[in-house]
Amino acid sequence: MAGQRQIRTGAIGAAGTTDYTVEIPSVGAVQLALFGNFDYGSGGTSVKCYVEGSYDGAVTWVPVANITFTTADDMKVLNVVPTGIASWDANAVQSDDAAINHIPPRLRVREVVAGTYAATTLALWLTVS
C-alpha cells in the first residue's frame, strides 16, 4: 500500500483557506511525507500547509503535520512515522514545521494563506507508504 499525490501546484494569491481532500489509502501506513516547493515572488506573510486526519469518517479532523512558508524561496520535506501512542489537542494550533506521530485512515491538506502574494507559486505533494 503506497501512494503519492500532487495536492496542488500553481499560484498563491489572496489570503484565505483551501481544503484539499487526499484520496490515498492510509490504513496501515508506516510513513507519510509532505513535500513543498515554494517559489517566492513578493508580498504575503505566510502559507501554512496542514495535514489533518480523521478517525471518524471526516466528522472530526485532528492535526498530523504542518509545513510553513513565508517570504523566501524554500523547499521542505516533513516525514511522519508513527511510534507509540500519539496524543494531541484537536483544538490547539499546530506548531510550524512539526508533526505528530500518527497517520489516520482519512487525510486532507488545509492550506492557510496570510497576506496577498504576487508572482508566488507552491507545488505540494503527499506520499503515504
Q: For residue 47, how many other CB atoms are within 10 A of its CB? A: 25
What residue has cell string 489572496? 14
**Phi–psi pair at 109, nearest 5 degrees:** -120, 130
- Residue 22, pLDDT score: 81
Please name the CATH architecture into which domain 3-85+92-128 falls. Sandwich (2.60)
**pLDDT at residue 9 is higher than 90:** yes
Q: Where are the domains of the chain?
A: 3-85+92-128
What pTM, to 2 d.p., does this model score? 0.89
Give me the percent of the chain exceeding a pLDDT of 90: 50
